[in-house]
Amino acid sequence: MKTLSILIFVGLLFAGILHITAQNCGCSPDLCCSQFGYCGSDETYCGTGCQEGPCFGSSPTNDVSIASIVTDAFFNGIVDQSDGGCVGRGFYTRAAFLEAVENHPQFGRVGSEEDSRREIAAFFAHVTHETGHFCFIEEINGASQDYCDETVTQYPCNPSKLYYGRGPIQLTWNFNYGPAGQSIGFDGLGNPEIVATNAVISFRTALWFWTTNVQSVLSQGFGATIRAINGRLECDGANPDTVSARVRYFTEYCNQLGVTPGDNLRC
């Protein structure tokens, strides 16, 4: 009987493992969706990289109005610095951004109002650099690059699709398109092009990447956000000019939003 009980227990445990490994986002409201797309309730699921649900530290802690900070003047002040013929003009709009923010309530609402303003300044500093003041929707020459990491078998590349940079934060690689799509609700691996054709989804991919990979390091200074976004190619002296550009935008936007940029600006 003991042997039979053990076998039953092992069988149930194995079935449970199969269930867990087969999961994706779409968890019940009381569970978190981990950065890898599985449902659970402990630190592994609700901690770093948590995409949805009662994520640890992701609940809004203030009642800051994002719309009152990202005003028409602020947003259009960025767009107006791009060339009039840019493809991004008319695609990237404040209305699309604000609609996207409604689905990411943790963005810009953690900590004090100063923290919120500083986070918003940091987000738009990176977006400005990545898109050339909202000029570019897609990465320049991106179609000639190979952004398929075949070792990430959880998010297998579609051989007829390309995962180059698209959108405000220039979402790149299959291991970002896959989970972004799961979290937001589109086929990231089968239809990556939608990030360049649907402005709300485009902004949502940027906010997803931000809240999943960047927001947790904000307290370490702006330099840490550079490292989280493009550290290998820019930090530790790899490309000081691009680091300087990001810092310049951040400082400028902090001034516009009435907040100090803080320390540790470079990576």
Contacts of 208 (CB under 8 A, 6+ apart): 51, 104, 180, 183, 184
| pLDDT at residue 29, rounded to an integer | 62
In the chain, which residues have pLDDT < 50?
Answer: 1-23
Task: Decide if 119 is catalytic.
Answer: no
| pLDDT at residue 17, rounded to an integer | 30
- Report the CATH fold assignment for 142-199: Endochitinase; domain 2 (3.30.20)
* Residue at 58: amino acid letter: S
Map tokens 């970002």 to a residue.
176
For residues 226 and 235, the answer to whether their CB atoms sit within 8 Å is yes
The one catalytic residue among 52, 130, 138, 234:
130
For residues 249 and 124, the answer to whether their CB atoms sit within 8 Å is yes
Helix (H, G, I), strand (E, B) or coil at 264: coil
Q: How far is CA 199 from CA 41, 188, 191, 226, in A?
A: 32, 15, 15, 24
- State residue 259 phi and psi, 5-degree precision: -140, 150
| pLDDT at residue 36, rounded to an integer | 73
Contacts of 222 (CB under 8 A, 6+ apart): 122, 125, 246, 247, 250, 261, 262, 264, 265, 266
| pLDDT at residue 55, rounded to an integer | 72
Supply the Cα-derived Rg of the chain in whole angstroms: 20
- Report the CATH fold assignment for 66-133+201-256: Lysozyme (1.10.530)
| pLDDT at residue 15, rounded to an integer | 35
Tokens coding 251: 């400082």
Query: What pTM was computed for the model?
Result: 0.80
**Which residues make up the CATH 1.10.530.10 domain(s) of the chain?**
66-133+201-256
| pLDDT at residue 160, rounded to an integer | 97
| pLDDT at residue 7, rounded to an integer | 34
| pLDDT at residue 12, rounded to an integer | 34
Tell me how far apart the alpha carbons of residues 33 and 183 are, in angstroms, rounded to a whole number: 8
Using alpha carbons, select from 214, 177, 170 the residue that is nearest to residue 192. Answer: 177
